[in-house]
């Protein structure tokens, strides 16, 4: 049986666990961005320096064709055979449109709100082929939207004039953020049965929902008063919004993925006296415990900075550096010995601004 020496540190109501035996092996995707992973293990994002949407796994990497006349793109979401994101297009590639890619159809333009000069981007797709994202109206204001059977629909806001839809579960619940009537960006849920819900139960100055699982548990980041720290949160219908905390000594955190077992991934950041002193660590929250994923690998030269998504096999994707150079990574759990007790973190189901899902304007 494999034995692990564990150190438990009580921080407020959170437990921080370090383990001296590797729990994951690291797969290096090179200079790329890993945004999403499907239940089958397809990893999508973009390859650098060409800034082209691509499937990073299974190997070898496969770049998705740009929309006509395009020169940059990014894949934001994947479910089964479908991949969604955004691509430049049009004369000199000056337009940006949402796309849907399948092996059968190639890269398809999802269009805009009429005028092709307007902007759109797709952020997530589910097995029913429902797609969410955001699109500009003729006044150049971004609205949270959903594409159903190819038709674009406005999801509405919390009373303000703009918003973004960033993630969706298999039922069709959509989350993101939208402005309130007094102009504050609040984490927002658009339930499949209709309506719109403000998730910022503490009524803070700003919050952003990044992911939702099939139990309608939502994660993201929010400014919690009175200290005004931006921390990762989890929201459930029973508990409302709860602060997930940070690693010891850190001042910032954000949650970007959650699965049906309630395992959350994201980042925690040490805030130095100057931006050059900031240090980010990819983290995992499980059952009240925050884990620095760098303590779970035996891979000299690697610094895991941000975990973005996790799938049914317990595979985690994200961003970091190897020997100081930017890299995208995949973490695969090290197989347990047959006699070892199962690790509940491995019973997993799949699931800025600026924000990697939101291209520069």
Give the model confidence (pLDDT) of 305-347 as tens digits: 999 999 888 899 999 999 999 999 999 999 877 655 555 444 3
Closest listed residue to residue 200, CA positions, set 214, 192, 182, 213: 182
Q: Is residue 112 part of a domain?
A: no
- Which residues sit opposite 235 in a β-bridge? 218, 241
Give the tens place of pLDDT for each residue, 207-225. Answer: 999 999 999 999 999 999 7
Q: Is residue 314 part of a domain?
A: yes
Q: Is residue 273 part of a domain?
A: yes
Q: Is residue 33 part of a domain?
A: yes
> What pLDDT sits at residue 156?
97
CA distance 212 to 219: 7
* Average of per-residue pLDDT across 21-45: 95
Q: Is residue 296 part of a domain?
A: yes
Q: Which domain holds residue 342?
A: 24-49+256-351
- Specify whether the CB–CB gap between 210 and 254 falls below 8 A: yes
Q: Is residue 336 part of a domain?
A: yes
Q: What is the pLDDT confidence band of residue 361, given thresholds at 50, 70 and 90?
A: very low
How, if at all, do strands 325-333 and 62-63 pair? unpaired
Whole-model pTM over 0.85: yes
CA distance 86 to 84: 7
| Total domains in the fold of the chain | 1
* Per-chain mean pLDDT for the chain: 88
Number of CB atoms found within 10 A of residue 225's CB: 11
CA distance 121 to 56: 20
Q: Is residue 325 part of a domain?
A: yes
Is the torsion defined by CA of 25, 355, 218, 232 positive or negative?
A: positive
Cβ-count burial of 14 within 10 angstroms (0-12 exposed, 13-18 middle, 19+ buried)? middle
* Residue 338, C-beta contacts closer than 8 angstroms, at least 6 positions apart: none
Q: Is residue 235 part of a domain?
A: no
> What pLDDT sits at residue 3?
33
């Amino acid at each position: 049986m494999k034995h692990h020496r564990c150190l438990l540190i009580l921080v407020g109501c959170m437990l921080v666990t370090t383990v001296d035996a590797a729990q994951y092996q690291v797969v290096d995707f090179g200079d790329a961005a890993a945004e999403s992973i499907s239940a089958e293990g397809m990893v999508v994002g973009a390859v650098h320096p060409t800034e082209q949407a691509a499937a990073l796994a299974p190997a070898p990497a496969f770049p998705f064709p740009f929309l006509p006349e395009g020169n940059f793109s990014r894949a934001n979401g994947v479910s089964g055979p479908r991949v969604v994101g955004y691509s430049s297009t049009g004369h000199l590639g000056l337009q940006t449109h949402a796309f849907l890619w399948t092996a059968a159809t190639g890269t398809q333009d999802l269009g805009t709100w009429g005028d092709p000069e307007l902007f759109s981007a797709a952020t997530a797709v589910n097995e029913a082929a429902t797609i969410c994202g955001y699109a500009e109206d003729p006044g150049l204001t971004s609205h949270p939207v959903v594409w159903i059977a190819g038709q674009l629909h406005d999801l509405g806001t919390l009373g303000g004039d703009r918003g973004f839809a960033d993630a969706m579960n298999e039922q069709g619940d959509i989350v993101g953020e939208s402005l309130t009537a007094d102009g504050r960006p609040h984490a927002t849920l658009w339930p499949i049965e209709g309506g719109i819900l403000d998730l910022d139960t503490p009524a803070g100055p700003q919050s952003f929902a990044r992911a939702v699982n099939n139990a309608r548990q939502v994660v993201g980041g929010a400014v919690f008063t009175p200290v005004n720290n931006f921390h990762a949160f989890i929201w459930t219908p029973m508990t409302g919004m709860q602060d997930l905390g940070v690693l010891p000594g850190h001042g910032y955190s954000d949650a970007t993925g959650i699965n049906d077992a309630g395992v959350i991934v994201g980042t925690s950041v040490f805030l130095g006296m100057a931006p050059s002193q900031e240090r980010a660590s990819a983290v995992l929250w499980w059952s009240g415990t925050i884990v620095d994923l760098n303590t779970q690998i035996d891979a000299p030269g690697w610094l895991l900075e941000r975990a973005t998504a996790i799938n049914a096999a317990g595979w985690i994707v994200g961003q970091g550096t190897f020997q100081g150079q930017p890299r995208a990574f995949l973490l695969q759990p090290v197989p347990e010995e047959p006699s070892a007790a199962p690790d509940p973190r491995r019973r997993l189901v799949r699931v800025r601004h600026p924000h990697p899902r939101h291209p520069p304007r």
